[in-house]
């Protein structure tokens, strides 16, 4: 019996165990993509919150317009 060139050629993809492993790998990859997208979205929201906080720190407390802008931003960010 001739030996395969590569060990992966000996894998029987019709084997239920192999099918299960391939399904798990595919599901893990899809989950990783979803987690990355959610992480990116949260990072964007965090940047907006930090910008709002910095804006509040450097704005004089007596500025009515700045206070209104900060409140509007907080409402938009649902804080």
d(CA 53, CA 77): 12
pTM above 0.85, yes or no: no
Q: d(Cα 57, Cα 50) in Å, to the nearest integer?
A: 10
The encoded tokens of residue 47 equal 């940047």
Length of the chain: 79
pLDDT tens digits in sequence order for the chain, 79 residues long: 456 677 767 788 788 888 888 888 888 998 999 999 999 999 988 888 888 788 777 766 667 777 787 778 778 877 5
């Amino acid at each position: 019996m001739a030996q395969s060139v590569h060990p992966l050629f000996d894998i029987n993809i019709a084997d239920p165990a192999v099918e299960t492993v391939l399904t798990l790998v595919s599901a893990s990859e899809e989950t990783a993509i979803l987690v990355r997208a959610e992480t990116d979205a949260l990072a964007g929201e965090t940047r907006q919150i930090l910008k709002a906080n910095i804006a509040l720190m450097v704005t004089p407390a007596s500025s009515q317009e700045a206070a209104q802008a900060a409140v509007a931003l907080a409402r938009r960010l649902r804080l």
